[in-house]
């Protein structure tokens, strides 16, 4: 298992390199520049700014210098936030984005798993059709549609929950977490249902039922581990998607997270901020995918034995 993890970590290095290369190329070839504004600066001022931020150097040298600084953990200065580095800005919004992502993932996992288990225990019944129909609606509604609908219903009409901000009250976190996690809850529900249908038809489940075990013991102690294997595979990309896709929800609910900086950086053409947040999100995606593979090997004995055999 350790050898497998090390191989995956080493394989992530060229992936990150190409992420940096492609993002760097795109931001530098896009029309406009970081110092283009409604108020045009004088040529002398623009020349001084380009020299200060090394933008007057050839593109190849800029890339080499950026990678050299990146290896040392330096994302560079922000072009639009004077006297602040990209690392400082990422650390400022990271805690809020991580908190929102964790709440959304917990909501998606709990609701999706419970709904999928209930549907899988009684297939082709009302207990199956109703939650799966709702899950399909959740998949079809993107967050930028789900968010305003929830705000309109619970914030404006019913006046139960606040519609913006991210304070200490649990009510401030409820609508954003539901908006961000709804689609993932729907996917998890369908995966859990399919996993339950597959596991409940296995011989060892029939044996457990023949021994007279109650259904809840059969489900919890025998069927659940196998049924949740597809969910664990999906959990890695889901966690990364929840974190990297939160900028839409953060914009809807005016949440001061990392997504806000990412969106503003795109509009402001803040090269270093775009690169820094893209690399940060790429690292999160790789990390959660590797973590999901490790957890999947832990719950799946056959996969664990296969990895041990390949390591010999």
Tell whether 49 is covered by a domain.
no
- The token duo for 41 is 């600066």
* Structural domain count of the chain: 1
pTM (predicted TM-score): 0.76
Per the structure, the complete domain to which residue 179 belongs is given by 87-266+286-311
If one compares 22 and 288, the residue with the highest pLDDT of the two is 22
- What's the pLDDT tens digit per position in 175-228? 898 888 888 888 898 888 888 888 887 877 788 778 777 877 877 777 777 777
Tell whether 274 is covered by a domain.
no
Least confident segment among 11-15, 179-183, 292-296: 292-296
Tell whether 48 is covered by a domain.
no
Residue 247's CATH number: 1.10.3720.10
Tell whether 123 is covered by a domain.
yes
φ and ψ of 85, to 5 deg: -90, 165
pLDDT at position 300, please? 63
Tell whether 73 is covered by a domain.
no
Tell whether 139 is covered by a domain.
yes
DSSP H helices, the chain, are 2-29, 43-52, 59-71, 86-121, 126-140, 143-150, 170-200, 203-210, 215-218, 224-227, 229-244, 247-252, 258-268, 271-299, 301-311
Is the separation of the CB atoms in 238 and 136 below 8 Å?
Answer: no
- What's the pLDDT tens digit per position in 97-142? 888 888 998 898 888 888 888 888 888 888 888 888 888 887 788 8
- What's the pLDDT tens digit per position in 45-99? 677 777 777 777 888 888 888 888 888 888 888 887 777 888 888 888 888 888 8
Tell whether 302 is covered by a domain.
yes
CB count, 10 Å around CB of 131? 21
State the average pLDDT for the chain. 81
Tell whether 44 is covered by a domain.
no
């Amino acid at each position: 298992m350790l050898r497998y993890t090390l191989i995956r970590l080493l394989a992530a290095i060229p992936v990150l390199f190409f992420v940096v290369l492609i993002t760097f190329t795109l931001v530098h070839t896009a029309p406009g520049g970081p110092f283009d504004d409604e108020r045009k600066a004088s040529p002398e001022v623009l020349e001084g700014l380009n020299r200060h931020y090394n933008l007057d150097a050839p593109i190849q040298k800029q890339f080499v210098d950026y990678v050299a600084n990146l290896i040392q953990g330096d994302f560079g200065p922000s072009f639009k936030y004077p006297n602040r580095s990209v690392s400082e800005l990422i650390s400022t919004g990271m805690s809020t984005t991580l908190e929102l992502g964790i709440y959304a993932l917990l909501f998606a996992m709990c609701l999706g798993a419970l709904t999928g288990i209930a549907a899988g225990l009684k297939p082709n019944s009302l207990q199956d059709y109703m939650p799966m129909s709702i899950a399909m609606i959740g998949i079809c509604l993107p967050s930028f549609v789900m968010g305003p609908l929830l705000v309109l219903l619970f914030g404006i009409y019913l006046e139960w929950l606040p519609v913006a901000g991210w304070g200490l009250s649990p009510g401030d976190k409820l609508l954003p977490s539901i908006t961000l996690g709804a689609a993932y809850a729907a996917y998890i529900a369908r995966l859990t249902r399919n996993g339950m249908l597959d596991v409940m038809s296995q011989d060892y489940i029939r044996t457990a039922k023949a021994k007279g075990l109650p259904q809840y013991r059969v489900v919890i102690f025998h069927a659940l581990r196998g049924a949740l294997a597809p969910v664990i595979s999906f959990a890695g990309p889901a966690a990364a998607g929840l974190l990297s896709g939160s900028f839409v929800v953060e914009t809807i609910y005016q949440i001061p997270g990392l997504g806000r900086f990412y969106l503003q950086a795109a509009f402001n053409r803040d090269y270093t901020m775009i690169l820094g947040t893209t690399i940060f999100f790429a690292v999160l995606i790789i990390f959660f995918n590797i973590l999901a593979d490790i957890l999947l090997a832990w719950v799946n004995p056959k996969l664990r034995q296969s990895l041990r055999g390949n390591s010999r």
